[in-house]
Structure 1
Amino acid sequence: MTIPAFDSILNVLPTHLGDPRKPNDLSPYPCTVDEVCGRFATSGPRKAILDGFLNLRRELFKLGVEGFQWLDGSFLEDIEAQENRDPKDVDVITFISKPVSQADFLTLQSTSHWLLDRNATKQQFSVDHFVVHLGSSPRLLVDLSRYWYGLFSHRRDGLWKGMLSVELVDQADDVAARVTLGGAP
């Protein structure tokens, strides 16, 4: 799916593409990391944020993490037109499917504590990073999904907005994204 255009008045991604009863037309919109870079690498500050995001993904791949990520925040808005400023970071929720077991996930947390440290990931990668382990209890998964979707689908002023979803399983897409950013893979 192509990343939708910003709403011409509100400068945000739409929450749906016409009929909100059609699941394929709802946010979060699936796309590749390369498509994200192609669409949002429009300035030096944005390229630096995307470089940090790709670096975070590289570290997650090194740890054997797989899953998918929801992207949001002012980075996915035309914040330059809306507030006359650059985005400071990109908001990301990593839904982890591998490691599979809760015990293995807890081991990952203890050996790679930076993974859950928002301040560390924000400072090092320009990513406001959150993690949801898909091996959690069904009730917790529903509650966390409800919370994050509710939070990410609105701006602070209450305006509804869309978000993106990218897979965290294939490093080839990240290599292509690096080329799109103008860097070496």
Structure 2
Amino acid sequence: MVDLSNKPTIIGKKIILRPMKAADDFPYIEECLNDAEVVKLTGSSPEYDREEVFHWYNTRNEQTNRLDLAIVDKTTNVFVGEIVVNELDQLHQSMNLRILIGPRGRDRGFGTEATQLMVDYVLMNTVLNQLTLSVFAFNPRARRVYEKVGFTMESIDKNQLEYDGKQIDSINMKLTRENWLIKQNEKSAGR
């Protein structure tokens, strides 16, 4: 059983991953949800119910089967995105990872740092054997981040999203505990 009831604060070089504070974060959450690039890259709808979304974020810290953390810019102490580990696959001891970076956090290395911090935390503090994720084919920047952290392509789901009249594939990636440990050893050896 994976218990994610502890909602840590993880301090990186440029960012802090911390539990959600819906009351403080919500204006920035909405900024992300209304951002055209976020809508495109996540395949989400720009239409949402404010009350429902606020309630959702306000209940994230109560969840024991998932870990939702705010990504906060260390220099401004402002919410710039979120990173989530969810969807436990008990059979494979695996969970899904997803990340969203809003306009205040793009092109600053926050995505790479947040992904690495979350992967390290989860694999050091749980018995999970792997993390999985999906990224749309028109998001090569995110794919490079995932590969840098150690994720490898596992499969492709064809035509998973219709965007701008085109069918977009979804690339499924995974990072096993074994590959993560190899990366950790390479870092320790200074490679």
TM range (shorter): under 0.3
TM-score (norm: length of structure 1):
0.24
Structure of greater relative contact order (alpha carbons < 8 Å, 6+ residues apart): 1
Q: Which has the higher helix share?
A: 1
TM-score (norm: length of structure 2):
0.23
